[in-house]
Chains A and B, each alone.
Chain A
Amino acid sequence: MLDSVATIARVEDILSRHDGMEGALLPILHAIQAEFGHVPQVALPVVAKAMNISRAEAHGVMSFYHDFREEPAGRHVVKLCRAEACQAVGADRVADHAKKVLGLDWHETAKDGSVTLDPIFCLGLCACGPAALIDGKLVGRVDEAKLDSLLEGLK
């Protein structure tokens, strides 16, 4: 568990780096997530106060966007594209395989915290699908066998 005093100090440092920026809330939330791996709930009142909005508004913004996590993700994050161009080359099949192998549904994290499975809607790799983003690395033409070896590489 993160020490909340230390967390708040780091959040305040992030806030000071965004001082004077127009419409700074998204860049701030991105910076917080980059720092902690998620947006700690204890950060929200601090952010809200600095932006002169209510905590509810800050939560409303954060929860609107798929990217921001309330809880830390697994040590590895596997994002599989679910959009049409990838569907046309077997993305649904690959997704079913991933769910079975990992024992996870979308948005779930393994109990041991090893891996999170997320859907993603389009990486712009539509001519070399099915596409995936694994720990920030782009991968194209993912079939079941390639996914297996990629998951093996995470262990």
Chain B
Amino acid sequence: MKIYLPLDSAAVALGADEIAHAIEKHAHAKGVAVTLVRNGSRGMVWLEPMIEVEGPKGRLAFGPMTLADVPALFGDLSAHPKALGLTEDLPWLKAQTRLTFARVGVIDPLSLDDYKAQGGLSGLTRALTMDKSAIVAEVTASGLRGRGGAGFPTGIKWKTVSEAVADRKYIVCNADEGDSATFADRMLMEGDPFTLIEGMAIAGVACGATKGFVYIRSEYPVAVRVMQDAVAIAQAAGVLGASVLGSGHAFDMEVRVGAGAYVCGEETSLLNSLEGKRGVVRAKPPLPALQGFMGKPTVVNNVISLASIPVIFEKGAEFYKGFGLGRSRGTIPLQIAGNVKHGGLYEIAFGLTLGEIVDTIAGGTASGRPVKAVQVGGPLGAYFPRALFDTPFGYEEFAGKDGLIGHAGLTVFDDSADMLAQARFAMEFCAIESCGKCTPCRIGAVRGVETVDRIAKGDTAAIPLLTDLCATMKAGSLCALGGFTPYPVLSALSHFPDDFNRMKEAAE
């Protein structure tokens, strides 16, 4: 009997380890030989811990599992109280276009054989037959843009590094996924770490870089462990090392762990942290592509950007580019979070409207109350009201509505949310996490909290002050922390003015 049970953090947080223990105990007691594979999550977090049992027609899913549901796994499976049917027929999975996440939840994350059997390493194998400029051109042609939030074309960044002349170059993977509502990087690293390694190796070959770092936040202990194990396996198998797959190209990598500073998700701050310094933001120029880690040309890419590279080389740039809308090409792993009925990861081509995502895919709120606001793009993203639910999911489309897609995380709030409190939190968070380099961010965020508190006490004269402060932060901060904190604040203010009008309440 072969059973799959995720090692994914979300599944573990909902009791997967205890279920694993119970399965082994029952199997032993019943004398049934069980092979238990700890895989990645299929992304249906409301069904976690979700187990799958391999059957003659495919894998059968069961969830959400509790300890009480374990004994029935050893009886008539069709009568199991948590039976969901064949995994591949589940509507949430069936409607997706899984390119980057194709193997997540399917394979044993640390089995290189499983990885190869599902198309793994074919992208790298193909890239190794191409010259550097052709590899870069393929990435450019795919239309892939930075999935970390900034949306910068990946191919152009690689071209700059590839053409730079230096004795050493680096590939740095930004896995400091600190935005609330985002967990795609975590799920990818936990569920299919070799994809990231393969993407980084292709980047290394394309740019002439011989060393890579994955900078993972310390809040992701499972991802750190899986990545470290995967790197060791890849080294032993010759995927990494002095001669990548015997090609003569040297590329090796190392996993580094952050230390709880949100701002280190910003690329220059991350580079300082990686160098062993305070994670203070650097002014650009010089671009990291020319003077990055240790002053050398460095590609800094997000996990999902790098993990999308193998499929682009496996299936071709044209295939990847065929998905999406406008200048947002390919697929995007939506992360649906907060107060939702169906939360989790949903990979799909760009272009669904916000309303389709929230009402149809997420199924509305978990509380059953009406949706009041959706924060898109993490703590620096705007709050969208229902009136903007027709906005299609794309970089330019969201920018056009004074928002951003960021790392594609969506936090849904029901009508009990107080948008003034959310605006205050945005300022408070910025004050806590500011690296301190830019005055508008360091001091402005503190004043922002005070100003929101004045508004909360009924002082509406403080509202223009808040708007003014936001303009200063936006224009006067080097990075997105100070520069984008105004997005949640101003969107809360402009779309939910009633929450800021406390005068009437105070007078009554």
Which listed residue, B259, B335, B337, touches A67 by the CB 8 Å rule? B259
Bound complex: CA A124 to CA B182 (Å): 6
Distance, CA A136 to CA B413, complexed state (A): 28
How many Å lie between the Cα of A60 and that of B379 in the bound state?
A: 26
CB distance from A104 to the nearest CB of B (A): 18
A145 to chain B, nearest CB (A): 16
Most chain A beta carbons < 10 A, residue from B10, B218, B220: B10
Instruction: Please tell me if the beta carbons of A27 and B256 are within 8 angstroms of each other in the complex.
Output: yes
Contact A138 B340 (CB under 8 A): no
- Given A122-B219, A127-B337, decide whether A26 and B13 contact each other with a Cβ distance below 8 A: no
Interface residues in B, total, Cβ within 8 A = 62
What residues of B have a CB within 8 angstroms of the CB of A110 in the complex?
none
* B-contacting 9-mer, from A1-9, A70-78, A86-94, A95-103: A86-94
A-contacting residues, B272-298, CB 8 Å: 273-280, 293-294
Given A124-B177, A126-B409, A127-B183; A26-B256 close (CB under 8 Å): yes
Contact A126 B178 (CB under 8 A): no
Given A84-B181, A126-B182, A140-B14, are A61 and B278 also a contact pair (CB < 8 Å)? yes
| Least distance between B505 CB and chain A CB atoms (Å) | 20
Chain A interface size, as a band, is 35 or more
- In this assembly, does A120 line the interface, its C-beta being within 8 Å of a C-beta of chain B? yes
CB contact between A127 and one of B10, B12, B256, B379 (< 8 Å): that residue = B10
Q: Determine which residue in A25, A29, A129 has the highest number of CB atoms from chain B within 10 A of its CB, and name it.
A: A129
Closest Cβ of chain A: how far from B302's Cβ, in Å? Answer: 14
CA of A86 to CA of B338, assembled, Å: 6
Please indicate the chain B residues that have their CB under 8 angstroms from the CB of A66 in the complex: 259-261
Q: Is A85 an interface residue (CB 8 A)?
A: yes
Contact residues, A24-66 vs B (CB, 8 A): 24-27, 29-30, 51, 60-61, 64-66
CA distance A86 to B261 in the complex (A): 19
Known: A124-B220, A128-B10, A139-B13. A88 touches B412 (CB 8 A): yes
Q: For A83, A85, A128, which residue has the most chain B Cβ atoms within 10 angstroms?
A: A85
Residue pair B343, A121 in contact (C-beta under 8 Å): no
Q: Please, which residue of chain B has its CB at the minimum distance from the CB of A51?
A: B276
Query: Per-residue CB proximity of A8-26 to B under 8 Å, as 1/0?
Result: 0000000000000011111
Q: Which of B178, B179, B220, B276 has the most CB of A within 10 A?
A: B276
B257 lies within 8 A of chain A by Cβ: yes
Q: Which of B340-377 contact A (CB under 8 A)?
A: 340, 343-344, 366, 375
In the bound complex, residues from chain B placing their C-beta under 8 Å from that of A151 are none
Which of A86, A87, A122 has a CB less than 8 Å from the CB of B178? A122
> Which residues does chain B contribute within 8 Å of A25, judged by CB atoms?
276-277
- Closest Cβ neighbor of A28 among chain B residues: B276
Interface centre among B340, B375, B411, B433 (most CB of A within 10 A): B411
Give which listed residue, B185, B256, B422, B433, contacts A84 with CB less than 8 A: B422
Q: How far is the CB of B498 from the nearest CB of chain A, in Å? A: 19
| Interface SS of chain A | loop
A89 touches B335 (CB 8 A): no
Q: Is the CB of B337 within 8 A of A126?
A: yes
Contact B294 A22 (CB under 8 A): yes
Within the complex, which residue of A51, A85, A89, A124 is in contact with B219, where a contact is CB–CB below 8 Å? A124
Report the nearest A residue to B435, measured CB to CB.
A64
Q: How far is the CB of B387 from chain A (nearest CB, A)?
A: 19
With A26-B259, A87-B425, A126-B409 in contact, do A140 and B181 touch (Cβ < 8 Å)? no
**Contact A24-B276, Cβ < 8 Å, known A84-B375, A124-B186:** yes
Cβ-based interface call for A125 (8 A): yes
Query: Which of these, B181, B257, B344, B435, contacts A27 with CB under 8 Å?
Result: B257
Interface residues in A112-149 (C-beta closer than 8 Å to B): 120-129, 131, 133, 136, 138-141
Of all chain B residues, which has the CB nearest A131?
B13
A52 to B9, CA, bound (A): 39
Verify B256–A85 contact, CB threshold 8 A: no
| CA of A66 to CA of B9, assembled, Å | 22
Q: Which residues of A contact B340 (CB under 8 A)?
A: 127
**Complex interface: chain B residues within 8 A of A123 (CB):** 9, 13, 219-220
Tell me the smallest distance from the CB of B351 to a CB of chain A, in Å.
22
User: Distance in Å from the Cβ of A24 to the closest Cβ of chain B?
Assistant: 6
Q: Can you identify 16 A-B contacts, CB atoms within 8 angstroms?
A: A30-B257, A60-B278, A66-B261, A83-B379, A121-B178, A121-B219, A122-B180, A125-B183, A127-B46, A127-B337, A127-B338, A127-B340, A128-B10, A131-B13, A138-B222, A139-B13
Closest 5 CB pairs of A and B: A127-B343, A25-B276, A83-B180, A88-B338, A126-B337
- Seen from chain A, the residues whose Cβ lies within 8 Å of a Cβ on chain B are 22-27, 29-30, 51, 60-61, 64-68, 83-89, 120-129, 131, 133, 136, 138-141
> 17 other contacts beyond A86-B180, A127-B45, A128-B343, with CB at 8 A cut-off?
A23-B276, A26-B259, A51-B276, A64-B279, A64-B280, A65-B259, A65-B279, A83-B429, A84-B425, A85-B338, A85-B409, A87-B422, A88-B414, A121-B180, A122-B179, A124-B10, A128-B46
